[in-house]
Amino acid sequence: MSIDKILQYQEYDMKYIKLENELKSSQEAKKVMAYKQAGQQSIDNLTRMNDVADHTMESLKKSMASLEETSKQIDEINNSELKDCDEKQLDYFAKQLEKLEQKLDELEREVSRGNKELGEISVNQKKDFEQAAKAAKAYRAATDAFNELKKKMSVEAGALSKEMKAISSDIAPQLMERYMKVRANKRVPVFVPLVKPNGCGGCGMEIASDTLNKLQEKKIQECPNCGRLIYIKD
Ligand SMILES: [Zn+2]
């Protein structure tokens, strides 16, 4: 069987693959990826900061509750009737009051710290929201540019597909199937000539004499090393 047809098919297919690779490695494709990642990064940051903010808010609530409770205790001591107390009791109250006031100071510092933290988080969140919005906008623009490029390339790709489809009707289905199988493994070009005396035209590996004998007989043999299809012409 002559393999000229499938070699012709392969020629178009290689152009098609080249186009695909050009699209995949284009600046436009890279930008789409980069802005997508940047957007994701901002969203991750925001999610993390929300967790931190929730946690800080919880602590702050607890500190506020303690603060209220401590203030109440101080008020109770201050408002209590002290006229019947002896010196020992007064001394005790004074000490209690001192302790509570210390606690109050501490809690006030805690609340102030929590407020400051929440303020900082809020500033960072605003920044990340802005960045996320920017990335989303840039992502949309990059996607538009990518689709524009894809559309342009698809004219050429469509023409190649049409040629391939026309040729493939002259190719034995079994041979086509073998071709597609190797192509799917990204071993392209699939068909490679024998490099005399016994080298694979794809990977350069020397092939054993039994494979070489089969190649002489069947004109097509799979390279045991790279899996491409080595051919010889009549
Ligand atoms: Zn090979």
Distance 174 CA to ligand 1 centre (A): 21
Question: How many Cα neighbours within 13 Å face the side chain of 68?
Answer: 5
Distance 224 CA to ligand 1 centre (A): 7
- pLDDT tens-digit profile of 182-199? 999 999 999 999 998 999
Distance 181 CA to ligand 1 centre (A): 15
Instruction: Name the architecture of domain 14-170.
Output: Orthogonal Bundle (1.10)
Distance 207 CA to ligand 1 centre (A): 8
Distance 228 CA to ligand 1 centre (A): 6
Work out the mean pLDDT of the chain and round it to a whole number: 93
- pLDDT tens-digit profile of 7-65? 999 999 999 999 999 999 999 999 999 999 999 999 999 999 999 999 999 999 999 99
Pairing outcome for strands 199-200 and 220-222: unpaired
- Kindly indicate the confidence band of residue 72, based on its pLDDT and cuts at 50, 70 and 90: very high
Distance 195 CA to ligand 1 centre (A): 10
pLDDT for 99 beyond 70: yes
- Kindly indicate the confidence band of residue 152, based on its pLDDT and cuts at 50, 70 and 90: very high
Smallest CA-to-CA distance from 192 within 140, 139, 138, 232 is with: 232
Distance 58 CA to ligand 1 centre (A): 65
Distance 212 CA to ligand 1 centre (A): 13
Mean pLDDT, residues 77-100 taken together:
86
Q: CATH 1.10.287.1490 region(s) of the chain?
A: 14-170
Pairwise CA distance, residues 46 & 150, whole Å = 33
Distance 165 CA to ligand 1 centre (A): 27
Protein residues placing their CB within 5 Å of the ion ligand 1: 200, 202-203, 223, 225-226
